[in-house]
Amino acid sequence: MERARSNHDLKPAKEAGLWESIKETVKVGLQALLIAVVVRTLLFQPFNIPSGSLVPTLLIGDYLFVSKYSLGYSKYSLPLSEYLPFEMHGRIWGAAPKRGDIVVFKLPKDNATDYIKRVIGLPGDRIQMINGILNINGKPVKREQIADYSTTDAFGQPTQVPQYVETLPNGVSHRIIERDGDRGLWDNTNVYTVPPGHFFMMGDNRDNSTDSRDLGSVGYVPFENLVGRAEVIFFSIDEGSSAWQIWNWPWTVRWSRLFNPIH
């Protein structure tokens, strides 16, 4: 007859089972972490919009996915790239953005701060603002005025501002706003000639955007500094609301913006 197992016999079995469970949990956790790192580094990276420079296309509180593979890979495709102990130059499988794409890039001034703007000028282009009208290579870009846009002025007060549909030379159309009319700080400029291997970026909120028009703050953006192209809004919450306050989501989430492609 088989002897009944004592508590002393069961204890090692229980400990072995617990240890196997811990190892399996750690293994699954490490696999999930590895997958997340690979996806974030090579495929998609999430970003949130902290400023209104791309209003009305992107709003403060929008969360979006940026595709990295669409533009190839450079040093700045890697997480915490500013801390890498080695130098990397150029791009692997690089594909230049198209005029009108919205892209995330590292600010050339420090190669660390993430900026997001619209590609307006390609290498060799001549860009100029004349009375609020964008000019590319000596030709004014078509814009059509539509209904005013509700936003806030420089003092944070609600206001209605002129809104236009701007159509770039390659046929890409997008909305812009002119908070200060056609006499804003950057509505009349000299001619900018985009250097080889660089791009000229602008915000759709033309009077509330620090972009390539300000050569001291942004200027021309090297191809190497591009991180990826904005693809889709996966979450959006009212400005001033906290995403972690789930109990407020029925009222604060901008449901109509979820999963909207970015143009």
Active site residues: 53, 117
Residues 227-257 as b or e (16 or more Cβ within 10 Å = b): bbbbeebebbbeeeeeeeeeeeeeebbbeeb
**Which two structure tokens, joined as six digits, stand for 154?**
């420089």
Q: For residue 189, how many C-alpha atoms fall within 13 Å in the half-sphere facing its CB?
A: 23
CA-CA-CA-CA torsion sign (149, 154, 58, 253):
negative
The residue type at 71:
L
Q: List the beta bridge partners of residue 165.
A: 144, 175
Whether the Cβ atoms of residue 191 and residue 128 lie closer than 8 Å to each other: yes
Which are the contacts of 19, defined by CB distance < 8 A and separation ≥ 6? none
My answer on whether omega of the bond before 56 falls inside 30° of 0, hence cis, is yes
Helix (H, G, I), strand (E, B) or coil at 23: helix
Which two structure tokens, joined as six digits, stand for 159?
């206001």
Residue at token pair 């936003």: 151
What one-letter code names the amino acid at 170?
N
